[in-house]
Amino acid sequence: MADPRSRPTVVVRDVSPSTDCSTIVSRSHLQVLLARSPIPPEVLLDNLALYMPRTAIVDAIAMGDLYRRILCVPGTVMEFGTRWGRRLPLFVALRELYEPYDYTRRIVGFDTFSGFPRVHVNDGGHPEIHAGSMSTATGYAEHLSRVLEAHEEQTALPHIRRVEVRAGDVVDTVPDYLRDYPETLVSLAYFDLDLYEPTRACMSAIRSRLVPGSILAFDELAHHNFPGETLAVLDELGLRWGAVEKLPHHRGPTIVTVATPPSRPTCRAEHERSV
């Protein structure tokens, strides 16, 4: 009989995705170094990449991949759950790079800016899932709007308002936006709401505005900590509604491309052949 003391130690690991300690320490070091940066303020903006963590750079690359997929798809870019708004200026910059004179390509960010308004039983029991979680600073929506206006002043069409922030519960603000702009089609919808109810409500609201080739990108699809997003997709769309794939070299987002009839050649394919 084997000696129980000779058995190997079994390490029990949590199935919940989380950030490892070394990454947290590294980010803290970068935060301190940025706060104490000797770079003069007038050139600091041009050198912020020096302090960006790997995850932020990978996220920017992923947004570029997403944007290239919609170059031949008409419609607005929407982000649901924009919070601090880091992706919105990326979309503005990508629009300026690829299609600076497309005045129909609007970019809209939606968020309560006061955190989760409520949670659903489908959202699970992770400690971050509670009313008020993921809030921002007081008055942040106004600050974000001013930042985006500054970015838009540097575009090819600065006299046309093509980026906007809508504050409030998306259950109300998304239908309100569609009533204000009845001509809206949706080329790219980025979901970062984390929760069941608002994710499903947004999908329902924009479903009739999607066209073949539209992209739905989900930041927490199949994420153990935030099951509500996956359940909302399963209940509202299912997974046979279009092509489902994840971006290579990146944990998220997972994207759903609205199916294009096989007899119709895609503009994206033509664009890729010409590059």
Q: Regarding beta strands 254-258 and 242-246, do their DSSP bridges make them parallel or antiparallel, or are they unpaired?
A: antiparallel
Supply the DSSP symbol for 208: G
Q: Is residue 258 part of a domain?
A: yes
Closest among 100, 113, 182 to 141, alpha carbons compared: 113
Q: What pLDDT was estimated at residue 212?
A: 94
Domain membership of residue 61 (yes or no) is yes
82 and 194 both lie in a single domain:
yes
Asked whether residue 14 is assigned to any structural domain, the reply reads no
Nearest by Cα to 200 from 223, 178, 170, 224: 170
- Tell which of 52, 67, 96 closes a domain: 52
Query: Does residue 157 sit within a domain?
Result: yes
Residue 1 forms part of a structural domain: no
In the three-class reduction of DSSP (H, G, I as helix; E, B as strand; rest coil), residue 234 is classed as helix
Domain count, the chain: 2
- For the chain, the farthest-separated pair of C-alpha atoms sits apart, in whole angstroms, at 83
* Mean pLDDT in order along the chain per 10 residues (275 residues): 51 57 88 97 96 92 96 98 98 98 98 98 96 98 98 97 98 99 98 98 97 95 95 90 81 81 50 55
Residue 13 lies in a domain: no
Domain with 245, as residue range(s), is 54-274
Domain match, 48 and 115 both: no
The answer, as to whether pTM is greater than 0.75, is yes
pLDDT at residue 265, as a whole number: 46
- Determine, yes or no, domain membership for 12: no
In the chain, the amino acid numbered 20 is D
Cβ–Cβ under 8 Å, residues 215 and 69: yes
- Are both 80 and 157 inside the same structural domain? yes
Q: Does residue 182 share a domain with residue 99? A: yes
Statement to judge: residues 63 and 139 lie in one domain: yes
Q: Indicate if 39 and 79 belong to the same structural domain.
A: no
Domain-located, residue 4: no
Say if residue 36 is in the same domain as residue 131. Answer: no
Q: Is there a single domain that holds both residue 119 and residue 220?
A: yes
pLDDT of residue 249: 72
Task: Looking at the structure, tell me whether residues 129 and 32 fall in a common domain.
Answer: no
In this structure, are 44 and 84 located in the same domain? no
The CATH number assigned to the domain holding 100 equals 3.40.50.150
CB within 8 Å of 26: residues ≥ 6 apart:
53
- Domain finish residue from 34, 52, 70: 52
Residue after which a domain boundary falls, among 33, 52, 71: 52
pLDDT of residue 12: 44
Q: Does residue 153 sit in the same domain as residue 241?
A: yes
Q: Are residues 172 and 41 in the same domain?
A: no
